[in-house]
Structure 1
């Protein structure tokens, strides 16, 4: 019975594997071949690198150590597609990913096909998946889903900084209905925070723990373009008193005036979307703001951002998932957090410094890859994620 259950697990995860791997290529289907190589800034990776790196993960952590007789597609790819795993060896510097004219896009798709074929062979003929190996497989699939979201954000940055503002593809307009009750009152209480239940979660969600929270009120809706425009028009970017010192440095150095992708054209605000350049819809949710901007807007309103514990404790009372939502919490380990041994241990723990937590999900998040305990994290300056603002008072 134990072997049958393990075999079923192998077949189930193979089905998931195929579906997730196909979706990465679906995201890239609208691209021209030239779009695959561009890297406008260090934080944005070329699409072809994402396709190669996610494939490298399965080759490096599943096939090479576990599939007897497996032959690497190309031994040089460990250097090319290793992202930040010091344990695995040397790698291309992140800023140089855009210099990789080779391997070609065709080479990378051949690499994906080869590894997918080998993964299918392995999973079809091995009914002895250990708990440890199954966990690495699950991690690999969720890792690829993270990169699918990064693919969309990076593609938008690449095309959004092309002077022609090319269309990625026509996207369906998402109409967000604002809640009638503007704020939700949450009582003073002791709340349980962290992942609870079955299914996958990342190690930074482990360590469910109790947290005392004073009473607070959290907005039922995210901030709209109309509200953010008012902040801009009333001198939000010109008044230092709303900004953290580091945030004000960012404003002055970047000469920031508006969220990312916003352009004032003939006296009218427009923004680049995946469907091309569009007029700003005042009722749509503001997007592509960084932590500095979110915090400054909250200060202008006489409010603040929620802590990540406040967000999680109240998340069942409002709709979320349209924008990643900045919190006022630094990205730190939960109580009893323990970093895994080896390369897998480098996945989350090494980034627990100089990052702020975002909660929820966004329109770019793959289906089935969100939960209320999910902890996303970025440096406060980053705007290129699909990020928005929820207020607390």
Structure 2
């Protein structure tokens, strides 16, 4: 990369008629770590809050940047495939659909950034603070978490297009993706929350010092089953982090019109709470680490509210502009985009170069394009696999009085 960078710089100098001797910048020239001041969390039933002075290393920053860009570009490609009717059915994008001003087929240069979403800092920040041996369950906006939990871009894209190489063998689609210690992707609003409590109860029972992160949106926060789960989790002191991803809008309406109280971090009443800047990956990381430490010390559960924003509609069927203004969306994009915030921090603290981050962008786009090609050419699962994979490593079995093998024989 350094030789390429040197050639680029030299070419630019020659183009301007300057005869200069260029010296390639080495990795040793970069700052290996830096301390950042972050926004203080609001707290509920806590004597102390997460730190506001935090350290990030160069390696961490580069990894965060790559992962957030991968999630964003993956969802951008999913948006394109949906508009081309290659992805069908429901599709709730974690980081959003393409801006109305961009063509579905537009290719951006390495120096361009397309703001399509804002929730990447939530997924990447949470994962930076817990272990892969911990457990995570979320609602239907699940593509980003499927990736951070260990799924590949190729598996996720193939699942969206219903192909055999998908992470759920092409049978789950957008809302039903799973991998080790990741329990979906659940389509019923709020129903994953009691399931998350069950996972946390199993962690307690096994005594393995693991915890469960259970995510839901502001639209689900008024569900009765969530309050029932608060009660059980607090009663049994479960190692459970409830996380409300408050992106300010449910299905077509603002939080102010849907909830008498929008202080979601206080909704647990008797449960410790944190309200966090969900647009800042370092704020999310430190708050999650703080909550995880409480849970592992037997002081759980903890309720976190991540204040984030969705630039797009609730789902692909929602334009997202009938209940808010374009000016509001643009203001958030220009001031609070999580990838831009991380990028600016790294550049201003000499932790990376513009060229290095552009190279990551190019690599990410290549990975996404290769995954999309696979997702559009891999075969669909055959009919005889209809009842496979209901249980792990189990042969086909009769489901509701129907055996797929018997049905196939009758058709022949």
| TM-score, scaled to structure 1 | 0.20
Higher relative CO (CA 8 A, sep ≥ 6), structure 1 or 2?
2
| TM-score, scaled to structure 2 | 0.19
